[in-house]
Amino acid sequence: MNFAQCLLSTSFMFFCMMPIASIAQSATKGEKAPELKYALRVDFKDNVYASYVMDEKTIVNRMYRDSIGKQYQRKVQYNFTQSPQSPQPSGIEGQAIVCNIDSMKYAFFDGPAQLLYDSQNPKAATVNTEFPDAIANMALLNHQFALVYSPKTEVSDVIGVDQPGDIIWLRNYIVKEGKDALDTAQKFTWMHALKDEQAAWIADVSKQLIPGKIVIAPDSIWKRPIRLRLDGIDFVDTVEVRIAEYTKGEYVLEAVSKALTPITNDDARFFGIPAPVPIQEAKGNGTIRMELNSSGWVKKVTLKYDAKVTSQYKREQFTQDIKTESTWTLLGRYKWN
């Protein structure tokens, strides 16, 4: 069993959204009827965990300066659970939500070649577990972590859960034990796949769209900072969010992103490029659609983004057109003691 195989083998959101003042007794002359408002907040309930599935499809078109192109495609599915850590760890500012990716499916397409992996049927895999793109997407499988949410419902930190095999254990293992077994590019791939950004990208279902507790009118538009990871590249943006629909206890939020900005102090590693490369420039846009019920549960999130990235390996400059569609779907919620 090789080094990567060893690592892999060891390897809710509530939104309360309630009309506040919809009662309308006939107003007396000169009095204004109560204004309809909604109260929004993120709430995590003790002893309750949610089960989600995330499906992601990414298509990448690469173009070199000599007009030689390359296209590849990736499909990933994660099944994960999350619940408030009990007891809450001391010394943090916020609330820790424990997350675990229980299983996953991975498919990579390069022309006619198909590389497949299913964690529930690993013997049928057609992908080498040392394949860099596979590592980049599988590293967190069965390695628990906790997202720390600030009062503004932003992921302020990603921590371990004080158990062998958690995200902190794995990071330390890569640093200590992998120094002789991994080359520089392999070590970068593992550590990049274990960064806070990857954990938050998969498990932060709320996507930071609601800033703590707010009371707003139905036609309100508010701005929120977000961060995304598209084809292994970290982006930030400020989105405009609004309540788009309400029908029989079902609510829809829509967020519009117009100015994706890459975090250029971090390198990235792309399929077919033998080493990490800097991001020279990038831009993009997209939308996020979130479905919630009147009890406050996030039922589904749909994210669609397009980005264009310029990078360079040695003297060869190239661009990557990235199209990503991701969905997070609530499978169920359960109470435990």
Give the tens place of pLDDT for each residue, 37-85: 887 777 888 899 899 999 999 999 999 988 889 999 999 999 999 999 9
Classify residue 47 as left (phi > 0), alpha (psi -120 to 50) or beta. left
Pairwise CA distance, residues 311 & 123, whole Å: 37
Q: Which tens digit of pLDDT belongs to each residue from 161-187?
A: 999 999 999 999 999 988 888 999 999
Q: What is the pTM of this model?
A: 0.89
Domains along the sequence of the chain with CATH = 3-335 (2.30.230)
Predicted pLDDT of residue 17 = 39
Q: What are phi and psi of 330, to 5 degrees?
A: -75, 120
Could you identify the residue written with the tokens 């309540």?
243
Query: How much is the pLDDT for 327?
Result: 98
Give CA–CA dist 329/198, Å, rounded.
18
Q: Distance between CA 286 and CA 277 in Å, rounded?
A: 25
DSSP 3-state percent helix, strand, coil across the chain (nearest 5): 15, 50, 35
Contact 180, 240 (CB under 8 A): no
Rounded average pLDDT per 10-residue block, the chain, 337 residues: 52 41 45 75 84 98 91 98 93 94 98 95 91 96 97 95 96 90 93 97 95 87 96 97 86 94 92 94 97 81 98 95 98 87
Beta bridge partners of 162: none
Q: pLDDT at position 34, please?
A: 72
